[in-house]
Amino acid sequence: MNILVSLKQTFDTEAKIAISGGKIDATGVNLVINPYDEFAVEEALKLREKFGGEVTIISIGGDKVETSVRTALAMGADKGVIVNDPALEGADECVIAEVLAKAIAQQPYDLVLSGRIAVDDGSSQVAVRTADVLNIPSVSSILKLEIEGDVATVTREIDGGTEELEVKMPALFTAQKGLNEPRYPTMPGIMKAKKKEVKTVTLADLGISDAAPKMNAPKYSLPSPRKAGTILSGMEAPDAARELAKLLHEEAKVI
Amino acid sequence: MAKGIWIIVEQSKLEIRKVSLELISQGRILADKTGEPLVAVILGKGIAGLADKVAAYGADKVILIEDDKLENYTTGAYTSALNKVIRKEEPQAVLLGNTAIGKDLAPRLAQRLGVGMASDCVGMETDDASFLTFRRPIYGGKAFAEVSANARPVLATIRPNTFPVGAADESKKAEVVTETAEISADDLRAIVKDIAIAVSERPELIEANVIISGGRGMKGPENYKILEDCADVLGAAVGASRAAVDAGWIEQKFQVGQTGKTVSPTLYIACGISGAIQHLAGMGSSKVIVAINKDPEANIFTLADYGIVGDLFDIVPLLTEEFKKLQ
């Protein structure tokens, strides 16, 4: 079974966000694999252990993205493809999906996995859009995946519960927390990863000439500081509870 | 030519979801500002009876897409049905709730149409140049992006509880049209086999007006009872931080935060939650935040509008009693 994992490099979730020259400032920020994409890598490795085949990591980004691709290879993935092209600066989800689909379609695959959301822009669009370009079925936010022949049975999270679907492969699934526990790269894994193949391609290599976004360039801002709250301390519990209830009722008017 | 602001109405067992009513109410305001008609689109089986309800909230026109194959939501069938009618009618904007269905459907539909989309928006305004601009949190709410599209229609999913539900006026009527879907075998490559909705008297987390959440300070699963008692007085949902979920005290579906649900209630009460940045990512857009924590240095107090430094096991039952008096 050939599995492709679409992986995004993101800021560490602890990163402080600053804006410089109208852009999000990446200076000094620790870059990691998007946490949800780690679930996708883990699931791909588990499926390869069961069915054989290859796990290929596909990522779009600049020179720094290779470190995250190598981390996924150290976890056990077989090879990587990086799409690195300055024309993708300012690309929106519509463009990225076209590019990913082209990169994916260059190799044989049975399954595409990704995280359900990237914790940086939080748009949660690219994977599902990519499935549409590839004309394969997709299921978002899966918690469980079983494969028999060319049919996958998946459990997906919905509001207030779960649903089970049967999906004809090839297909694309996005991973929700709970699908698995991602493994850590081992020392031998890290050594091996250094020798694994990582191919870098450009838009021209993929036969893409038009990368015009459908969205205008975003304007970024930082949240305005919240005004200091009313914090009750040093009061007896009954007095504090009575006072808080009163504030919520009379001042905030939310009770 | 004015082609309208469209709201894709979400219904479950023929009940319209609250977020859809929020979008119709806000859509009415935008429609009046722009002179565009407000169109509500309902998909499913046996849905004709829902038209009057969306009309009462302000829709000028209701499009019903009725098909047995649309009874349960599937990505393929819903995308195909909407793609057909959107290409025919050419709306300016198509708005959905940022729900499990909205998050799955909107990007696939946007790609099929070859257009842009704004996800999980917490604000939208009319704009002469680009019709609508959207405000959306990024980096877990540590920054905001203001976005707009250069192609039509623009698609967007709006976070539940962002806009209020307006008053219903039963005397308002809308033009109702029925469209057919053409669902191919390719659209049905993913088929729903089973739906398991947990039976709960409490509201769904992402749509709740009030949420009371417990974290590491809850000390164990048995103690969630005191939050549940308080929730039942307030008609609230119960939530949890990652620490409590990872400790196995409460199911993951109750988790609020970066790796859980994103919520935006009117009132969020955080009990025994330190306020890690990843938790704030999931509840930072709540309108009023209350913190109850023993540790006066807890980060949650920097975000809280109100708080009590104290033992939640003393405070919460007393608060429940105070809330009862106010109901």
Pair A233, A31: CB distance under 8 Å: no
Whether residue B143 and residue A241 make contact (CB cut-off 8 A), yes or no, is no
Mutate which: A38, A134, A244, vs B, most B CBs within 10 A: A244
Whether residue B144 and residue A19 make contact (CB cut-off 8 A), yes or no, is no
Number of structural domains chain A divides into: 2
Q: Do residues A97 and A185 share a domain?
A: yes
Q: What is the pLDDT of residue B13?
A: 86
Segment 92-121 of chain A within 8 Å of chain B by CB: 92-94, 97, 119-121
Confidence of residue B12 (pLDDT cuts 50, 70, 90): confident
The mean predicted confidence, pLDDT, of chain A is 97
Q: Do residues A188 and A240 share a domain?
A: no
Number of structural domains chain B divides into: 2
- Express each pLDDT in B106-135 by its tens digit: 999 999 999 999 999 999 999 999 999 999
Residues lower than pLDDT 50 in chain A? none
Kindly state whether B14 is in contact with chain A, defined as any CB-CB distance less than 8 angstroms: no
Asked if the structure places residue B63 within a domain, the reply is yes
Asked if the structure places residue A213 within a domain, the reply is no
Q: Do residues A56 and A179 share a domain?
A: yes
Whether residue A13 and residue B140 make contact (CB cut-off 8 A), yes or no, is yes
Of the candidates A218, A235, A245, the beta carbon closest to that of B322 is on A245
Of the candidates B111, B198, B319, the beta carbon closest to that of A97 is on B111
Q: Do residues B182 and B219 share a domain?
A: no
- Express each pLDDT in B20-73 by its tens digit: 999 999 999 999 999 999 999 999 999 999 999 999 999 999 999 999 999 999
User: What CATH number does the domain containing B19 carry?
Assistant: 3.40.50.620
The enclosing H or E element of B223 equals: none
Q: What is the pLDDT of residue B2?
A: 53
Confidence of residue B92 (pLDDT cuts 50, 70, 90): very high
Q: What is the pLDDT of residue B1?
A: 44
* Measured distance CA(B165)–CA(B162) in Å, rounded: 10
Asked if the structure places residue B200 within a domain, the reply is no
Domain boundary among B160, B188, B216: B188
Task: Return the structure tokens found at B259.
Answer: 């790796």
Buried b (16+ CB within 10 A) or exposed e, B166-194: bebeeeeebebeebebebeeebebbbeee
Whether residue A125 and residue B253 make contact (CB cut-off 8 A), yes or no, is no
Q: Do residues B37 and B81 share a domain?
A: yes
- Express each pLDDT in A194-228 by its tens digit: 999 999 999 999 999 989 999 999 999 999 888 88
Whether residue A153 and residue B107 make contact (CB cut-off 8 A), yes or no, is no
Q: Do residues B184 and B297 share a domain?
A: no
- Express each pLDDT in B142-168 by its tens digit: 999 999 999 999 999 999 999 999 999
Q: List chain A residues with CB under 8 Å of B281.
A: 13, 119
Q: Which domain covers residue A8, as residue numbers?
A: 3-201
User: What CATH number does the domain containing A67 carry?
Assistant: 3.40.50.620
For residue B235, give the 3-state DSSP assignment. Answer: coil
Q: Which domain covers residue B213, as residue numbers?
A: 205-326
Q: Do residues B108 and B62 share a domain?
A: yes
Over residues B208-215, the mean pLDDT reads 98
Calculate the alpha carbon distances from B165 to A15, A108, A252, B26, B162 in Å.
Answer: 36, 49, 19, 8, 10
Whether residue B266 and residue A254 make contact (CB cut-off 8 A), yes or no, is yes
Asked if the structure places residue B199 within a domain, the reply is no
Of the candidates B79, B193, B198, the beta carbon closest to that of A160 is on B198
Percentage of chain B with pLDDT > 90?
96
Please give the full DSSP string across chain A, using - where no structure is assigned: --EEEE--EEE-TTPPP-EETTEE--TTPPEEE-HHHHHHHHHHHHHHHHH---EEEEEE-STTHHHHHHHHHHHT--EEEEE--GGGTT--HHHHHHHHHHHHHTS--SEEEEES--TTT----HHHHHHHHHT--EEEEEEEEEEETTEEEEEEEETTEEEEEEEESSEEEEE-TTS--PPPPPHHHHHHHHHS-EEEE-TTTTT------SBPPPEEEPPPPPPPPEEE-S--HHHHHHHHHHIIIIIS---
Q: What is the pLDDT of residue B252?
A: 93
* Measured distance CA(A37)–CA(A8) in Å, rounded: 7
Task: Return the structure tokens found at A178.
Answer: 């709970």
Q: Do residues A26 and A105 share a domain?
A: yes
For residue B151, give the 3-state DSSP assignment. Answer: coil
Domain boundary among B188, B219, B248: B188
Segment 195-234 of chain B within 8 Å of chain A by CB: 195-198, 200, 204, 206-207, 210, 234
Domain boundary among B135, B163, B188: B188
- Express each pLDDT in A74-104 by its tens digit: 999 999 999 999 999 999 999 999 999 999 9
Mutate which: B13, B238, B288, B316, vs A, most A CBs within 10 A: B288
* Measured distance CA(A217)–CA(A95) in Å, rounded: 13
Kindly state whether A148 is in contact with chain B, defined as any CB-CB distance less than 8 angstroms: no
